């Protein structure tokens, strides 16, 4: 059974309260519950971590090498700033899908660049909570096709 590491970056713990006009009223707990249901339906295991700290996210990515076959990540604002997270993903060489609730290309210019996109299989951006569900389906589909 594939095991996927789900990483939520900074400020995503505030979902539901944070800028509801952009991110909606869904909470991180709601999203995690939906992901767990989808994982069960897909027949995969997921481990979920949210952190506001770059180094914690880097350490979690390093831990994937022996525990997980794929990564689903919303790095939040670190998407646009973190060479360290990009290098960690590139270093462990584990297939990674990048997701965003909002469409980062319709927002401020500083959000248009992702350090993670070049080391990810692909990116899903703009579908709210469904970005995560689509992202989980995408990583599992990728692993299944690669295996077969």
Active-site residues: which are they?
Answer: 23, 100
CB of residue 74 to ligand DQA, shortest distance in Å: 5
Cβ-contact 56, 82 below 8 angstroms: no
In angstroms and rounded to an integer, the radius of gyration of the C-alpha atoms of the chain is: 14
* Among 32, 34, 87, 111, contact with ligand DQA (rule: CB under 6 A): 111
What's the start-to-end Cα distance of the chain, in Å?
A: 14
* Among 101, 124, 136, 139, contact with ligand DQA (rule: CB under 6 A): 101
* Among 100, 115, 124, 133, contact with ligand DQA (rule: CB under 6 A): 100
Element holding 107 (H helix, E strand): none
Could you say which residues in the range 8-47 bind ligand DQA, by CB under 6 A? 11
- Only one of the segments 54-62, 65-73, 99-107, 139-147 lies at the binding site for ligand DQA (rule: CB under 6 A); that segment is 99-107
| 102 lines the binding site for ligand DQA (CB under 6 A) | yes
* Among 50, 51, 79, 123, contact with ligand DQA (rule: CB under 6 A): 79
| 134 lines the binding site for ligand DQA (CB under 6 A) | no
CB of residue 100 to ligand DQA, shortest distance in Å: 4
CB of residue 145 to ligand DQA, shortest distance in Å: 26
Cβ-contact 47, 68 below 8 angstroms: yes
* Residue among 3, 12, 11, 10 at smallest CA distance from 131: 12
| CA 92 – CA 47 distance, rounded (Å) | 17
Relative to beta strand 96-100, strand 70-74 is parallel
């Amino acid at each position: 059974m594939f095991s996927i590491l789900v990483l939520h970056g900074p400020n995503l713990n505030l979902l539901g309260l944070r800028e509801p006009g952009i991110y909606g009223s869904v909470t991180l707990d709601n999203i995690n519950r939906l992901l767990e249901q989808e994982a069960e339906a897909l027949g995969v295991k997921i481990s979920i971590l949210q952190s506001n700290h770059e180094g914690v996210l880097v350490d979690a990515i390093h831990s994937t090498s022996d525990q997980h076959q794929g990564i689903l990540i919303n790095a939040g604002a670190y998407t646009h700033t973190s060479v360290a997270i990009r290098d960690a993903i590139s270093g462990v060489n584990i297939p990674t899908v990048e997701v965003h609730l909002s469409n980062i290309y319709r927002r401020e210019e500083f959000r248009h660049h992702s350090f993670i996109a070049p080391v990810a299989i692909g990116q899903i951006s703009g579908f709210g909570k469904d970005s995560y569900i689509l992202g989980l389906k995408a990583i599992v589909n990728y692993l299944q096709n690669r295996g077969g």
